[in-house]
Structure 1
């Protein structure tokens, strides 16, 4: 009995840590997220690496495309998370909210600071590097490959009421309060020593 309870607790904890899990990557309604720039379960190209913290990539966000979103979605949010970052809570690389409901993709480099490449009304939130925009991959050099989860959240509101300095945790709370479905994929990245 204790083993079953412990196993259930571990499964719940892993689900909480990983924004995309096997049960929601490809829901039955066909809601699906993919990228022509990043292959699901593949290795991420160095162009998407951060430029700073010892990393020297181009810090460009990949193109993202979603299909078969729920008809009642009133907006979308995007998140990119590294659950393997050595922080105890992972690392939030990108959060975008208030993406209009008629949007089905974001172009490459949509995460540039200032948001000029995003659909009107979309808002980038602070990432764990401390600024609003895409913060590319930058795992410790020589470490095992990190997993990166890319998620699109279909929401039941046109916009989230968030302060300008919203933390990734607060943004996550509000996204999950209004989420009606999600789709996503995972890819990996590692740096040589």
Structure 2
């Protein structure tokens, strides 16, 4: 039985609509969004994302990508981005990709992912069944999350959950 998705154990909140020109629920990630290391030869580009339906009181957003199927006992964080201004409702492809972060708004903060870098890190599962990659956009009721880029994904996630007004996600898959 697959591991639960991270949002399945969180408090219920209204849903955001999250869409992408690059990724779709249940569809295989392209090599564009696969890691370029650890034996993988992808391009490591964060996908284009857009969202709508944020409730009144939304003051900022966070975007995360998590693999609940990673053989770690705690999943694997591929992307932890927060303090996106409430006026931002779309990120272009590559906004989370180092070193350029093209299209990333001023003030946005990357926390270190489980690869150990402050950027998007693409899919890189071990051989076996496909893994799920949960891209989530969180509408937050605070301007700033109150943590810095050195906070662990778990600490950032705790603060995201404590301030979430709404969330939505896309869950593509990838396996080798």
Using the size of structure 1 for normalisation, the TM-score is 0.83
**Greater helix proportion:** 1
Q: 1:91 aligned to 2:92?
A: no
Q: 1:134 aligned to 2:120?
A: yes
Q: 1:69 aligned to 2:54?
A: yes
Choose the corresponding residue for 2:66, options 77, 81, 98: 81
Q: 1:105 aligned to 2:90?
A: yes
Query: Paired residues, what number?
Result: 174
Larger-Rg structure:
1
Runs of 4+ in 1 over 4 A off after TM superposition: 23-27
Q: Deviations over 1:107-142 (max 9, x none)?
A: 00011225453111111110000010000000013x
Unaligned runs of 5+ in 1: 1-13
- How far apart, CA to CA, are the structure 2 residues paired with 1:41 and 1:24? 24
Instruction: Say whether the 8 Å CA contact 1:74–1:154 is kept in structure 2.
Output: yes
Aligned partner of 1:20 in structure 2 is: 7
Unaligned runs of 5+ in 2: none
- How far apart, CA to CA, are the structure 1 residues paired with 2:140 and 2:149? 20
Aligned partner of 1:150 in structure 2 is: 135
Residue 71 of structure 1: how far off its partner (Å): 2.2
Choose the corresponding residue for 1:181, options 151, 162, 166: 166
Partner SS, residue 95 of structure 1: strand
Using the size of structure 2 for normalisation, the TM-score is 0.91
Q: Deviations over 1:24-64 (max 9, x none)?
A: 9994xx62111110011211111110011111100000000
